[in-house]
Amino acid sequence: MRNIKNELLAKIGDKSAVIGIVGLGYVGLPLVLRYAQVGFKVIGIDIDSRKVDALNAGKSYIEHISADSIQKAQQQGFKASTDFSVASIADALIICVPTPLNKYREPDISFVTDTTDALVPYLRKGHVVSLESTTYPGTTEEELLPRVQSGGLVVGDDLFLVYSPEREDPGNPNFETRTIPKVCGGHTAACLEIGIALYSPAIDKVVPVSSTKVAEMTKLLENIHRAVNIGLVNEMKIVADKMDIDIHEVITAAATKPFGFTAYYPGPGLGGHCIPIDPFYLTWKAREYGVNTRFIELAGEINTNMPHWVVGKVIEGMNNQGKALKNSKILVLGIAYKPNVDDMRESPSVELMELLEGKGAIIAYSDPHVPKFPVMREHHFDLSSVELSAENIKSFDCILLATNHKAFDYDFIQKNAQLIVDSRGVYRTKFSNVTKA
């Protein structure tokens, strides 16, 4: 009698298995490169033809991923496609698609369900399907399980279903896909065994857990922990500002304690695909069980309000110079969501730009990592990055420091700016033209 599990384990073990990555963004593309690097043939699937065309031409569209690394993957047989039928060639299908919020701040898992539906016609015996997208506990069982079994295949016998949450920190030189431990939960014991085997060749440490729900909740806890602590320090920043205390000096001093304290830093709001979104996935699902997550929601309220607070500091700084915000020229310094990357997902800078423009300001931006404002699902500015010449800097009524890239010459900017509103704590020395936000 055919043992499908052992056949798949053998194919993974001798690297004859074909790895399919569905969704070729900040999570999926590093996985492509890692599996190719360790000797697997990889196929990529994405609905964005621009990404597929770029990859097949040996080009990268993510700043910290080199074209050379794409070309090396091609030498291992990597190809990208918009055609989901190539999924039938793969033995493993790893889903790395977005899980945003809808306009009501509720989970939108349509990318996950639509992707799964597109894969279902091509599923066969011996497939393993792994979901990596961040989502609420129960998604794998409630949404993926019935879909992948809809054609008569049985999970745990004919094919295998796992959840292994993505863990990426774009632009962080201290961590890469290989070195970040990988949590993995399976729908059955056989699924978990396959999941561990799937990720072990590519990841230094795989952390098995007892179920897909545990793995899903693990990802949410990681990011909610960060969101709550950032909410705390953002609230502390507002209090410290009223008391004329430098919150960054306070954090630096507190961080000298060798136990019981972890430094978190305030900012103009939360950014990235995970931290601003994940808390809402859990609070939404918790209501199904009659639980109100008041602590998490309070932190979310504080973090969501930070762009409004920063705009208030811009208005305050302008007033101190005898200027109105309306018709003033504002340069937003840094529009990526974090320093030294080109990642714009959920960037608070975009909300700052919209709020300021909504109050009548004339908006521009400067960001060496984002030369042209990208096409986004919900936001658009027809703008390109402004060169930071002395003449340009002087022409703006206010410079709003939103993202503290290393590439900026902060001394040069300060010497030429009429007014700087610093939301990142870059200017620790007091200057007459710097307002801290």
Distance CA 403, CA 333 (A): 6
Nearest to 151 by CA among 116, 107, 185, 101: 116
**92-95 and 79-81 strand pairing:** unpaired
Instruction: Please report the sign of the dihedral spanned by the C-alpha atoms of residue 397, residue 400, residue 401, residue 405.
Output: negative
96 annotated active-site: no
Distance CA 107, CA 282 (A): 9
Does residue 210 contact residue 217 with C-beta atoms inside 8 Å?
A: no
Residue in 96, 184, 191, 274 annotated catalytic: 274
Does residue 266 contact residue 247 with C-beta atoms inside 8 Å?
A: yes
Nearest to 156 by CA among 141, 137, 171, 178: 141
| Distance from the first to the final alpha carbon of the chain | 68
Does residue 165 contact residue 218 with C-beta atoms inside 8 Å?
A: yes
Distance CA 231, CA 295 (A): 10
**Residue 346 buriedness (CB in 10 A; 0-12 / 13-18 / 19+):** buried
Nearest to 411 by CA among 397, 392, 428: 428
Helix (H, G, I), strand (E, B) or coil at 214: helix
Does residue 159 contact residue 186 with C-beta atoms inside 8 Å?
A: no
Q: Which H or E element spans position 6?
A: helix 4-13
Q: Name the residues annotated as catalytic.
A: 274
